Structure 1
Amino acid sequence: MAKKVVSLLLASHPGPTVVVTVIAVGLGIGLGYPPGRLVLLALAILFGQLSIGWSNDWLDAARDRAVERTDKPAARGDVSVTTVRAAAFIALAVGLVLTLPLGIAALVVHAIAIASGWAYNLGLKSTAYSWVPFAVAFGLLPAIATLGQEQPAWPQWWVYAAGALLGVAAHVTNVLPDLEDDARTGIRGLPHRLGARPSGLLAFSALALATLLITFGPGLPVRPVLLVGLVIGLAAAITGVVLLLRRSPTRLLMQLIMTCAIVDVVMLALAGQSVTV
């Protein structure tokens, strides 16, 4: 029983699930959430992400078996596809129910973000618009936090833009290691059409633009800590571009992309109430 529970958790894409949840928690802390409300926000985002991760493994089980993905529990048979599918729908319902106490606006925005993730899994991943669900979901993530406050507020426009750019970078980061396997099973999203090197350049460019927006967004006071983040983020992005132009994409490039993304998220959290209208 314990083994199946572990397998089910591994089928949820725990890495991205935890990262997005931590991002939401960081935003909540920056906005001054009280502890109880912060826990509610964290659980709501967590279950929403679990539903997206499980729906991905459920829908991709046959494709993962075809390319012998040994890291996929459903493809290996460690947990049944039926169980993963049921978990996806249960997590979806729980995530939305937990969002309701944060307010109707937060609920609607969270529902749209989750729907974007499901739309990707259901077929958009195979089109030139594969980046759209990530841009929408990441662009709306800060709005879930700002609208979930006791005094709801909409984010400023540049917050949506920065989040969307981070989403595009996350999409590319997620796809690059699997380009060959995806090609074997007919997946041709935007990174597959562009190729590894152009996709890497797209990711670093998106992260650099997001970093600039978070540093110099209208209404943001000039803060030394944000300038430090700008220097770190741009240095990582420039290093990544130089390496990308000199050699084939490697795991080091993905680590640099994640470094840029983490810096951007920390900067956004540190901006606090300055991100709201």
Structure 2
Amino acid sequence: MRLLRALWGSTHPGPTLVVTGLALALGIAVGLEPWRLVLLSLAVFAGQLSIGLSNDAIDAPRDREVGRTDKPIARGDVSERAAWTAAIATLAVALALSAPLGFGMLAAHAIFLASAWSYNAGVKSTPFSIVPFLVSFGIFPSLATLAAPDPGVAAAWGWIAGAALGAAVHLTNVLPDLDDDRRTGVRGLPHRLGARASAIVAAAAIIVGAVAVLGGSSGGDLATVSPAGWIFFAAVVLVAVATAVLAIVRPPTRALFRLVMLAALLLAAQLVATGGAFAA
């Protein structure tokens, strides 16, 4: 049980559960049958486990160097070998669960996972660190649409919204760790932009995503947007603008990070609230 707890703590449980929950919500939105919905959710869950485990296994030496006592591998609660074994096993499970949903879903999920693993493997330390997030989150809505009996990729605006969400997540997720990252040689795009500029760009990306969802789900006819659609759009834009203003007038803090993440979650909710229109 101690080993399992340590491994679970190395999977980045919060993001793992949020992404799995988003996959479940998108699957419900496109009307997946129960068995397809279960397989989609489990496949995404296993994939997220593999991403988190590989990230912490790769970063273990760096985490020890900066004294990350919140990381089970760095603390010595679980070995790097055990974490790698679990990461590879959960990756295999994710692909195996994707296969019954069709070749398209399997291929899309494989690309999603390969992109995420590439970030862990070294892209995070380059100016192109945002690319895996654009690719993986851009593909993400299509995991639900490709899991349907009549599979197809998501609408273009769904890709834009997903990529915008990924950009915002990347640009803000590293903000609390910028100093530790610099000490160990990690200089991705957010490190080069700085905390303030990263937060402003993330807020702008979220607004772009919100506009894409609003315009795309209505086919460009804003008169057909439901009251709920307008409410979600207004909430996303309000929080994003507040984030940008706060980033300009005050030094970046964890409150800024939380605001951007709130805006990102609202954008995800806005996408789900379209009722599967992104499958069109």
Fold match (TM-score > 0.5): yes
SS at match of 2:32: coil
Do structure 1's residue 50 and structure 2's residue 34 form an aligned pair?
no
TM alignment of 1:56-205, pairs within 5 A: 56-205=55-204
SS at match of 2:174: helix
The C-alpha deviation readout for 1:43-99, integer Å capped at 9, x for no partner, is 000001111100001111001000000111001100011000000000000000000
CA RMSD of aligned residues (A): 1.0
Deviation at 1:219, TM superposition (A): 4.8
Distance in 1, matches of 2:144 and 2:194, equals 35
Report the TM-score, using the length of structure 2 for normalisation. Answer: 0.96
Distance in 1, matches of 2:260 and 2:213, equals 16
Do structure 1's residue 254 and structure 2's residue 257 form an aligned pair?
yes
Equivalent residue, structure 2, for 1:8: 7
Distance in 2, matches of 1:154 and 1:95, equals 19
Distance in 2, matches of 1:225 and 1:33, equals 22
Equivalent residue, structure 2, for 1:35: 34
SS at match of 1:217: helix
Distance in 2, matches of 1:58 and 1:153, equals 35
Distance in 1, matches of 2:228 and 2:152, equals 24
The C-alpha deviation readout for 1:218-272, integer Å capped at 9, x for no partner, is 6544111110001111110111111111111112112211211111111211212
Q: Give the letter for the 1:271 counterpart.
A: T
Contact between 2:17 and 2:45, CA under 8 Å: does it hold in 1? Answer: yes
Equivalent residue, structure 1, for 2:272: 269
Contact between 2:23 and 2:41, CA under 8 Å: does it hold in 1? Answer: yes
Distance in 2, matches of 1:20 and 1:218, equals 22
**Runs of 5+ in structure 1 lacking a partner?**
none
Do structure 1's residue 241 and structure 2's residue 244 form an aligned pair?
yes
Deviation at 1:136, TM superposition (A): 0.5
Q: Give the letter for the 2:265 counterpart.
A: I
Deviation at 1:207, TM superposition (A): 0.6
Distance in 1, matches of 2:234 and 2:268, equals 14
Distance in 1, matches of 2:180 and 2:213, equals 35
Q: Give the letter for the 1:135 counterpart.
A: L
Contact between 1:146 and 1:155, CA under 8 Å: does it hold in 2? Answer: yes
Contact between 2:30 and 2:279, CA under 8 Å: does it hold in 1? Answer: no
The C-alpha deviation readout for 1:83-135, integer Å capped at 9, x for no partner, is 00000000000000000011100100000000011000111000000000011
Deviation at 1:276, TM superposition (A): 2.0
Contact between 1:31 and 1:269, CA under 8 Å: does it hold in 2? Answer: no
Distance in 2, matches of 1:70 and 1:28, equals 37
Contact between 1:100 and 1:107, CA under 8 Å: does it hold in 2? Answer: yes
Sequence identity, in percent? 48
Distance in 2, matches of 1:6 and 1:123, equals 27
Q: Give the letter for the 1:205 counterpart.
A: A
Distance in 2, matches of 1:268 and 1:56, equals 28
* Segment drifting more, 244-253 vs 56-65: 244-253
Q: Give the letter for the 2:73 counterpart.
A: A
**Runs of 5+ in structure 2 lacking a partner?**
none
Contact between 2:145 and 2:154, CA under 8 Å: does it hold in 1? Answer: yes
* Structure 1 segments (4+ residues) deviating >6 Å: none
Count of aligned residue pairs for this structure pair? 276
Distance in 2, matches of 1:44 and 1:104, equals 14
SS at match of 1:186: coil
Contact between 2:217 and 2:277, CA under 8 Å: does it hold in 1? Answer: no
Q: Give the letter for the 2:60 counterpart.
A: A
Distance in 2, matches of 1:262 and 1:193, equals 25
Distance in 2, matches of 1:116 and 1:124, equals 10
